[in-house]
């Protein structure tokens, strides 16, 4: 059975819109874990647009699995080693992007990635690289020393939502997952996933973990709104 990681970045986005502490990040992390999530994912971005340093510090003190998404640089490495999350996933980061736009350029950043991954491995933090699905990326990931890879599922998710053909992207994910598994690398998948895309990708048995955030937060708002309005109607009657 595959595991589920829940990204709560956009709970922080909503909180930050008012500059207060509602909704509460820690409370939502607890709700996710009680509901069956296996881990909590947060992306501490350079511009701190959603998750803040204090959020990470408080989350890492809780007895839950925290997966820190971070850029590959010395500042973020120091933060990771200071807070000691259970997992770290290295992701590409551009200040102007709305969300992560693709996988890491492993060839270009090989030396830096290898250095950072080595230090995280030595600290017993499970390491992962966020990559586009390809044979070359899997082979380089092995050389870098990552324990896991998270395959970028953005392209196939867009195609499925549009009702377009997605067999080519699915084959790339299948082939990359198989090769990674043969190389002793654990396979994860994430980005743009919803119910339909996850059901399709769940058939790739090499994928051991799905990381989902935006869709879960959006669906939670829709599913929970009715009960909250009913509570307020009882109050204002």
Catalytic positions = 43, 69, 191
- List alpha helices for the chain, DSSP H: 9-16, 25-34, 53-61, 74-83, 110-122, 135-144, 154-162, 167-182, 195-201, 214-236
Report how far residue 227's alpha carbon sits from residue 233's, in angstroms, rounded to the nearest whole number.
10
Nearest residue to 2 via CA among 177, 217, 227: 177
DSSP 38-84: SEEEEE--TT-SS--HHHHHHHHHSSS-EEEEE-SSHHHHHHHHHH-
What residues pair up with 149 in beta bridges, in sequence order?
A: 129, 187
Q: How far is CA 121 from CA 32, 71, 222, in A?
A: 27, 16, 40
């Amino acid at each position: 059975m595959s595991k589920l990681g829940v990204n709560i970045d956009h709970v922080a986005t909503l909180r930050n819109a008012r500059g207060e502490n509602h909704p509460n990040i820690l409370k939502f992390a607890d709700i996710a874990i009680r509901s069956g999530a296996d881990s909590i994912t947060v992306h501490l971005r350079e511009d701190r647009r959603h998750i803040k340093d204090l959020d990470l510090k408080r989350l890492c003190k809780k007895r839950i699995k925290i997966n820190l998404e971070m850029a590959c640089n010395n500042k973020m490495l120091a933060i990771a080693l200071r807070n000691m999350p259970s997992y770290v996933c290295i992701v590409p980061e551009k200040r102007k992007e709305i969300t992560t736009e693709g996988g890491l350029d492993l060839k270009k950043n090989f030396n830096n990635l290898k250095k950072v991954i080595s230090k995280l491995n030595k600290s017993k933090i499970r390491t992962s690289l966020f990559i586009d699905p390809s044979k070359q990326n899997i082979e380089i990931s092995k050389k870098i020393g990552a324990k896991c890879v998270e395959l970028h599922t953005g392209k196939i998710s867009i195609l499925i939502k549009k009702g377009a053909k997605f067999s080519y992207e699915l084959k790339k994910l299948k082939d990359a997952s198989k090769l990674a598994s043969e190389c002793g690398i654990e396979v994860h998948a994430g980005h743009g996933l919803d119910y339909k895309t996850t059901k399709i990708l769940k058939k790739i048995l090499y994928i051991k973990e799905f990381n989902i955030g935006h869709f879960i937060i959006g669906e939670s708002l829709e599913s929970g709104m009715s009960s909250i309005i009913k509570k307020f109607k009882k109050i204002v009657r």
